[in-house]
Chains A and B, each alone.
Chain A
Amino acid sequence: MATTSAPTPPSFATHFNDPLIMEAILSSLITRIRSLESLTQQDPSNDLKNNDHVQIKGQPTTDGHSGDVTPPLSEELNDVDASTDITEPEDSKDVEVAHKILDIVASYGTREKEYPEQPYQAKHRFLPSVLECIKKGAAIKLVLPAFPFKSPNRQNKVLGSLPDLGEEMALANLQSLCDTIRQAYEPGADCYITSDGLVYNGKPQIQAHPQK
């Protein structure tokens, strides 16, 4: 029979106006894929007459990994680097949640890769502060210096001096990041936008150090 005893589904209820909860859908689907694929892991060249309910038609793909068999899901989803630099014993569940949260943050941006195999160092740098929040049951704090002011070039670049659809979508996207974190961690997250508008505007009244 098909995979049974599906867990009570999470409340897949989202008003269509709210940010799409991609991670939740993806996690749930990946869990099912995991069980479907694991049934064929033993024999990559699956005999289609096999009365298994799971059929993966055609050969598994070779994704540049060694060998012909697609690696199990769990290996691919977790980041390779396991060292965490935690000196005191931490609740492993807390650490797991912290990793999930940092993965979510990482998924909202694209990093410049100097070397493709380089581990994602920011995830380790911020692990302690995320763990601190988890231990206190507090919302994760994110800080983003951004949104100074609209570019002065209103002729051929921007549309005016005020926020427009771009800011609307960007802010909604940041809210979605917080919502996605809340899916993994109930107290959720807050994003503090520190506007640096004044910083780049005008000249300081005092002598700054000369550049050269």
Chain B
Amino acid sequence: MFDETNALLDLLGVDDSDVWTYGETLRQMAQDKKLSNVKFLRVSDLLDIAHRKSGGTASHPREAAVTKEDAGPFYLAHASCFRRELVARYQPPGYDADKAIKDDTDTRLTYLGYLRFLKKDLEHKPELNFNQDGKPISPKKTQKMISVIAKCMLARGAAFAAAIRDTHGDCVRLSIHPTVAVTKFPVNLIPQPSGEFGPTPWHASTALNVDGSFETGHSEDLKKTHDLIYRDGKPYYFREKSDLFNWGDLEVEFEPLYPCGLIIRPASGSPSARLIPMEKVRKLSVSLSPVILRGFSETLEEDVYVEKGHEAGKILPWTFGIIQKVKDAGNNTKMGNNVTSNEAMPMHFDGMFKFEDREDPVTGEITKVQAPPGFQFFTAPAVAPEGTGYTLFASSRLFFNYLRSPYNVERFEKIHWNMDNDGFWDAKCKDLSLVVRHPGQ
């Protein structure tokens, strides 16, 4: 039984070198994206911490002098030792998976999760489909084998959890498994449009939808509705099929941003901004804002800039013209200028003071109605020094998605508010709608 169990567990994994490279790439990713609070620990690190805590000596030498180049080969050479030591040190003696599944809700939830993904993970493994004589194995037997693997994983997981408790018992414990949240907090690594727990990124492929949402799923399903997108020659994600991403002769690459937004770059060279299909950009920005077009030329030519603006749609001019030129004049007071004035003015948006006369068809009474623009089009003459020049772009899609119950957009829409400001924007406005629905075109 033991041999079969471990032989089966062998099926689950990948080469230890894959594990190492995956981990190294993750670390590089975190570094490149400046995710400075995301840190990584390996099994060997946990064992090191445990040794230091207990003041004992390592059963297997792990010199701190191992250089960066040696780290990979060292790890691979000793991977089995680390695994052995973890299990020897932390596997609860007499661990009974069946009992744990029965007695502990979280274990049961984890076990069911394992059954689900193992079925798919091992779909193509001949050992699960054919016996030694090459005859097909009944689905029932396959299911039994998967169950054995899952229970073995639970035992391993129990050892790992014990190691975490021993070395990080004072930390807030998070988990990617469905849980009743008694001993750990669930974390939704990639929130799904459904709001439900989705498959984790290592168990699935990730897709970007035109409505701005991300989701994870199996590649065989996603490829029906999404295109496979490559980065640096490797398959990277799926993107919903849409003509908005097809720019004809102008070859571009789209980079999705977290938590929202899109950077669009020319695939090569720096073609003129004149070539950008502005109607597509406008439509993309409805759900994928902010859309950043980077690496094009002639972006500071005023006539090109205005022409592209006209191409995007009807331009709403400022009182003084079409282009608002913003420059930081170094005035830190609330009288600075309309962009850099340091005044308390919450809930302002550009075009807030644009009103149209609306005539009541019955009474003939004329009221002023807000008519703000639906889109804003920027071009940047200079890059702000690192750490300065920030602008907040808020995604109302995400905002209302995460707005906690019982609050929702319908409820907020009923609210009106007044504004009285005495800075640069000396103005009084009454009866402003708290929420205005975007026409979405």
B120/A129 in contact, CB under 8 A: no
- Find residues 255-304 in chain B having any chain A CB closer than 8 Å to their own CB: 256-261, 290, 292
**Given A165-B256, A172-B33, residue A108 in contact with residue B188 (CB < 8 A):** yes
Among B14, B98, B109, B195, which residue has its beta carbon within 8 angstroms of that of A150?
B14
User: 16 A–B contact pairs at CB < 8 A?
Assistant: A17-B257, A30-B407, A102-B172, A105-B174, A108-B187, A143-B174, A152-B12, A153-B124, A158-B205, A159-B236, A165-B256, A176-B259, A193-B39, A195-B26, A208-B155, A210-B1
B121/A56 in contact, CB under 8 A: no
The verdict on B146 contacting chain A, using a C-beta distance below 8 Å, is no
CB neighbours (8 Å) of B37 from chain A are 139, 175, 178-179, 188-191
Among B121, B187, B216, B417, which residue has its beta carbon within 8 angstroms of that of A54?
B417
The verdict on B382 contacting chain A, using a C-beta distance below 8 Å, is no
B189-225 CB mask vs A (1 if < 8 Å, else 0) is: 1110001110011111110100000101011100000
The verdict on A80 contacting chain B, using a C-beta distance below 8 Å, is no
B415/A196 in contact, CB under 8 A: no
User: Residue of B at shortest CB range from A1?
Assistant: B420
Interface residues of B (CB under 8 A from A): 1-2, 5-7, 9-10, 12-14, 16, 18-19, 21-23, 25-26, 29-30, 33, 35-43, 45-46, 79-80, 82-84, 86-88, 91, 93-98, 105, 109, 117, 120-124, 148, 151-153, 155-157, 159-161, 164, 168, 170-176, 178-191, 195-197, 200-206, 208, 214, 216, 218-220, 228, 231, 234-237, 256-261, 290, 292, 344-347, 390-395, 398-399, 402-407, 410-412, 414-420, 430-431
User: Residue of A at shortest CB range from B292?
Assistant: A16
**Given A163-B29, A190-B37, A211-B155, residue A14 in contact with residue B390 (CB < 8 A):** yes
A167/B40 in contact, CB under 8 A: no
The verdict on A86 contacting chain B, using a C-beta distance below 8 Å, is no
Docked complex Cα distance between A172 and B208 (Å): 15
Extra pairs beyond A53-B430, A164-B201, A172-B33 (9, CB < 8 Å): A53-B418, A112-B109, A146-B200, A149-B19, A151-B203, A166-B190, A194-B42, A198-B79, A204-B84
A194-212 CB mask vs B (1 if < 8 Å, else 0) is: 1111111111111111111
Specify which of A25, A26, A110 lies most central, judged by the most chain B CB atoms within 10 Å of its CB. Answer: A110
User: Residue of A at shortest CB range from B19?
Assistant: A197
Docked complex Cα distance between A167 and B431 (Å): 45
CB neighbours (8 Å) of A156 from chain B are 120, 123, 218-220
A141/B29 in contact, CB under 8 A: no
Interface residues of A (CB under 8 A from B): 1-2, 4, 6-9, 12-17, 19-20, 22, 25-26, 28-30, 32-33, 36-37, 53-58, 61, 63-65, 70, 76-77, 102, 105-114, 118, 120-122, 125-126, 129-130, 132, 139-153, 155-179, 188-212
In whole Å, how far is B373's beta carbon from the nearest beta carbon of chain A?
19
In whole Å, how far is B129's beta carbon from the nearest beta carbon of chain A?
13
In whole Å, how far is B181's beta carbon from the nearest beta carbon of chain A?
4
Docked complex Cα distance between A142 and B344 (Å): 35
In whole Å, how far is A66's beta carbon from the nearest beta carbon of chain B?
13
